[in-house]
Amino acid sequence: MKFSKKSEYGLRALLELCETYGGRVLQRHEIAERQNIPVEFLEQILLALKRAGLLASRRGVRGGYSLIKSPEEITLGQVIRILDGPLAPISCVSKTAYQKCADCPYAAKPSCPLQQAMGEVRDAIANILDHYTLSRFAHSK
């Protein structure tokens, strides 16, 4: 499973915001420059994280972004779900965006071998990312 650039950039931006948590706000161009992220793309990411309740923003010359929640309260799983959607490798094993497979020969049967395996993959990924906090992530760099 591969995560998008959106999630990668989002996590990198959050690393910067962790460093100033409880202090000053960071302007998007500061984050973009430090993390080598296109400013326009970063703006979309920051707005999604703001809408999800992880960030606050302030307008004006001294404006910028800051974390609302403590880095200990935010998990990588949360961030990736906000930016990329479900962690499940296939939609028929998703807990948050389940979709029945229309073309699968096992859809009408009581069990599907693919669901079993991919369900375990989903659980393993979620178990790691939902217990890996932003604080731990920031301190591992």
CA angle 87, 93, 99 (to 5 degrees): 100
Q: Which residues pair with 58 in a beta bridge?
A: 64
Residue 27 lies in a domain: no
Please report the pLDDT score of residue 104 as a whole number. 79
Residue 118 lies in a domain: yes
Residue 69 lies in a domain: no
> What pTM, to 2 d.p., does this model score?
0.87
Helix and strand element counts for the chain (H, E): 6, 2
Q: Give the C-alpha separation, 111 to 66, whole Å.
A: 46
For 71-96, write each residue's pLDDT tens digit: 999 999 999 999 999 888 888 888 88
Q: Is the confidence at residue 141, as pLDDT, over 80?
A: no
Q: Give the C-alpha separation, 108 to 106, whole Å.
A: 6
For 99-125, write each residue's pLDDT tens digit: 777 787 877 777 788 888 888 999 999
Query: Based on the structure, what is the number of domains in the chain?
Result: 1
Q: What residues contact residue 64 under an 8 Å CB cut-off, 6+ apart?
A: 24, 25, 26, 27, 28, 30, 57, 58
Residue type, 80: I
Residue 100 lies in a domain: yes
Residue 134 phi, psi (nearest 5): -60, -35
Q: Give the C-alpha separation, 135 to 141, whole Å.
A: 11
Residue 22 lies in a domain: no
Domain carrying residue 112: 87-133
